[in-house]
Each structure stands twice: as C-alpha cells, then as structure tokens.
Amino acid sequence: MTENTTSDGGDNRPDASVSALKGRTGAGAPAETRGKTTIADGVVAKIAGMAAREVPGIFSLGAGMARALGAMRERVPGGGGGAVTRGVKVEVGERQAAVDLDVVVEYGVSIVDVAGDVRTNVIGAVERMTGLEVVEVNIAVDDVHLPDEEQAEPDEGRVR
C-alpha cells in the first residue's frame, strides 16, 4: 500500500490534507455518502418471507410447531403480527445477509425446482430492496401438504 507524503524541508510525515479528504462529508460530498443506513434483521426477514410465499408450490412457511403456534396466535386479536416472518431466520451484516427458511411444499411439485425458484426469488427481492448481498439461502422442507389435509368443518354431532 502506498502512502502519500510531502516534503517540507526534510520533514517526512504523512500529508494531513490527504487523510482529511478521505471519507469527507459535507456540502461537497455526494448525497449517497452522507450518513449510514442500517437495515434491521426483521426487515430482511419480512422481505424474504413475502418473496418465498410468492413462489408457486409453497404451501406455507414454518416448521410444524411454529405453524401450530402461529395459527393459534392469529386467532387471538392483535396476535398475528409475526405471520410473515414465521419460518424465516436471517443474519444481517453491514453488506451481506444469509437467510434460512423452513417451508411446506404442495404435494406433486418438484421440491428441487421449487427450492431453486424460492432461492432466486428471495435473493432477487432482498438484494433489490436492501442493496445487501445475499450470500446463502438455506431451505429446509419440513412437510408436504396433501390435498386432503384441508381444514374440515367439524361434524354436527350424532345427536340432533
């Protein structure tokens, strides 16, 4: 690495004006360099969750227990706020992010193809909206949703 120095009659020291100009802020600096932007983990998790749910073949996100607890929370007034991020874990650094997803796929779809589509959609959405580089999207397929697993209405009972 080179260091800019000036010679003031034999005095070899780094030029103060060079180091002062590095990282300069104020009226002369470009607008995009005047300050710091921090993106919370929850923001990236919401973006990743929405992007994963958009992919055809994804039934829901979240492992079995998380889905069960989430379904109960959604029935309580004001308790369904975490539905978008259920099954999504993220690690966010200054310039990079990593995403872990727990998904349930529809029966009959190619899990390999759906996983690839989810990765593509999540990486595109997170990078486009946040400017972060997504270094990995890990997908855990926790279940396959069968068509006959729909919520059935309870029987009226034997006695009328």
pLDDT 10s per residue in the chain (160 long)?
A: 444 444 444 444 444 433 344 455 677 778 777 888 899 999 999 999 999 999 999 999 997 654 455 555 555 565 555 688 999 999 999 999 999 999 999 999 999 999 999 999 999 999 999 999 999 999 999 999 998 876 544 445 555 5
What pLDDT, on a 0 to 100 scale, did the predictor assign at position 18? 37
Bridge partners, 92 (sequence order):
97
Q: Within 13 Å of residue 74, how many CA atoms lie on the same side as its CB?
A: 10
Instruction: Name the residue type at position 6.
Output: T
pTM of the model: 0.68
Give alpha helix (H) positions in the chain: 16-21, 41-53, 64-75, 111-130
